[in-house]
Amino acid sequence: MNSLKRDFPILQNREIVYLDSGATTQKPKQVIKKIEEFYEKNNANPHRGAYTLSMEATEVYENARKRIAQFINAKSDEEIIFTKNATEALNLIAYSYGMENLKVDDEIVISIMEHHSNLVPWQKVSKVTGSKLNYMYSNQDFEISDEEIENKITDQTKIVAITHVSNVLGTINPIEKMIKQAHKKGAIVIVDASQSIPHMKIDVQDLDADFLIFSGHKMLAPLGIGVLYGKHELLNQMSPFLMGGDMIEYVYEQNTTFAPLPNKFEAGTQNVEGVIGLAAAIDYIEEIGYSKIQEIEKQVISYAREELEKLEFLKLYLTPNEMNHSGVISFNIKEVHPHDVASILDSQGVCVRSRKSLCTTFDAIFGD
Ligand SMILES: Cc1ncc(COP(=O)(O)O)c(C=O)c1O
């Protein structure tokens, strides 16, 4: 594990224990180097110029798209749309699919453990279209039961938007079951893989996910790059989200026809260095291999669970079943403000996320 640590320059430059990868990961030198290389050798605006350098930049950019399609086993690289982050990808689906396909009394189902980026856009869609926003609640083991899935995903459901791994609890949700139930009822499913893709292999065809989104920066890639995967037939029928350069086919004074996929959804100059960095991060992850990553994580998480459980003053929010739990460990120390806990840990060089119990998940479970 120490040899992997040496790949991260920031961990050589700072005396820290970085435990906030759920917020954003540090970047290995292999990713940083690829970005430097792009600026030193290939930089130009892709899809813009007919000169060699611009065509090379286009090739680098489009090869990265192919790499990402292959990584999640998309049928075609046209199903991969680059966005700014997971939040923008979810908003794109909410506006371009949700607003156009939902009507009064249709239902959107999300879970109570969603990140706000997979909650607030659906509130907006529900208000504008007159559809209902329903929640799948977690039980006291911080899991969503089969019964809850069957009760909430019904004939009225048109969209299910679900996080694969909760950023608050680390719970791994049974998305396979949810997708099966949703498809049985004729609904489409959006999987938020932001917290799962750094830790486990994702195969969109195997899952039969209709849409799947994630942010690069949580999986060793640069900040400011996100991915939206969508089934070709769904993306094809959707209207563009943002309008501008490079997403058009012909522009007339009063009307415009749009470019085919994926350009239809990529208006304006893109974050090319982010895309290249993401492809490099994927190379890095695959070189280590998910089985090795999981082996290391299992050791670290089991050790942390075991040691933290010994501390009586600490309340842990963990699913009892280790198989349903990824790398996030949430805890609270009664009577001590979380920011104080984080500040004390910071004084020892330990970086953790702190929050004053505001998230919807805890409010719903504990009535806090
Ligand atoms: C599960 C989940 N979804 C979505 C997001 C939003 O990601 P971003 O801020 O990169 O858009 C996060 C960020 O923490 C997350 O944990």
Q: Is residue 315 part of a domain?
A: yes
363 pLDDT band (50/70/90 cuts)?
Answer: low
Compute the distance from residue 87 Cα to the ligand 1 centre, in Å. 6
Residues 256 and 330 in one domain: no
11 and 134 share one domain: no
For 336, other C-beta atoms within 10 Å of its C-beta total 12
The tens digit of pLDDT for each residue in 253-266 reads 999 999 999 999 99
Given a cut of 50, is residue 285 above it in pLDDT?
yes
Whether 44 and 21 map to the same domain: the answer is no
* Ligand 1: lining residues by beta carbon, under 6 Å: 85-87, 115, 117-118, 163, 167, 192, 194-195, 215
Q: Is the pLDDT of residue 175 over 70?
A: yes
Taking only the tens place, the pLDDT of each residue in 291-344 is: 999 999 999 999 999 999 999 999 999 999 999 999 999 999 989 999 999 999
Residue that terminates a domain, selected from 263, 285, 307: 285
DSSP 275: H
CA atoms within 13 A on the CB side of 227: 35
Query: What is the sign of the dihedral through the CA atoms of 231, 156, 142 and 217?
Result: positive
Per-residue pLDDT of 89-108, as tens digits, reads 999 999 999 999 999 999 99
Can you tell me the distance from the alpha carbon of 360 to that of 362, in angstroms, rounded to the nearest whole number?
A: 6
Looking at residue 365, its pLDDT comes to 58
Q: Find the 138 Cα to ligand 1 centroid distance in Å.
A: 20
Terminal CA-to-CA distance of the chain, rounded, Å?
39
Residue 49, pLDDT score: 87
Domain shared by 21 and 85, yes or no? no
Distance (Å, rounded) from C-alpha 295 to C-alpha 327? 12
Number of domains in the chain: 2
* 63 within domain boundaries: yes
For the chain, the average pLDDT equals 95
Q: Is pLDDT of 358 > 60?
A: no
Question: Which structural domain, as residue segments, surrounds residue 78?
Answer: 38-285
Is residue 283 predicted with pLDDT exceeding 80?
yes
Residue among 122, 162, 195 to mutate when testing ligand 1 (max atoms within 8 A of CB): 195
Asked, for residue 183, whether it belongs to a domain, the answer is yes
Compute the distance between CA of residue 157 and CA of residue 237 in angstroms, rounded to an integer.
Answer: 20
> Quick one: tokens of 38?
């792009």
Here the CATH number for the domain that contains residue 160 is 3.40.640.10
228-281 confidence digits (pLDDT tens): 999 999 999 999 999 999 999 999 999 999 999 999 999 999 999 999 999 999
In a domain, 250, yes or no: yes
